[in-house]
Chain A
Amino acid sequence: SQELEQSPQSLIVQEGKNLTINCTSSKTLYGLYWYKQKYGEGLIFLMMLQKGGEEKSHEKITAKLDEKKQQSSLHITASQPSHAGIYLCGAPEGVKAAGNKLTFGGGTRVLVKP
Chain B
Amino acid sequence: SAVISQKPSRDICQRGTSLTIQCQVDSQVTMMFWYRQQPGQSLTLIATANQGSEATYESGFVIDKFPISRPNLTFSTLTVSNMSPEDSSIYLCSVERELNLKTQYFGPGTRLLVL
Interface residues of A (CB under 8 A from B): 31, 33, 35, 40-45, 48, 50, 88, 90, 98-102, 104-107
Chain B nearest CB: distance from A107 CB in Å?
5
Q: Establish whether residues A105 and B42, one from each chain, have CB atoms under 8 Å apart when the complex forms.
A: yes
Q: Establish whether residues B42 and A107, one from each chain, have CB atoms under 8 Å apart when the complex forms.
A: yes
Q: Establish whether residues B92 and A48, one from each chain, have CB atoms under 8 Å apart when the complex forms.
A: no
Q: In the bound complex, how far is the Cα of B6 from the Cα of A42, in angstroms?
A: 10
Number of interface residues of B (CB under 8 A): 28
Chain A nearest CB: distance from B29 CB in Å?
10
Chain A nearest CB: distance from B68 CB in Å?
14
Contact residues of A: prevailing secondary structure: loop
Chain A nearest CB: distance from B63 CB in Å?
17
Q: In the bound complex, how far is the Cα of B105 from the Cα of A104, in angstroms?
A: 14
Q: In the bound complex, how far is the Cα of B108 from the Cα of A44, in angstroms?
A: 9
B48 within 8 A of A: yes
Kindly supply a per-residue 1/0 record for chain B positions 89-115, scoring 1 wherever the CB is within 8 Å of any chain A CB and 0 otherwise. 010101010000111111111010000
B82 within 8 A of A: no
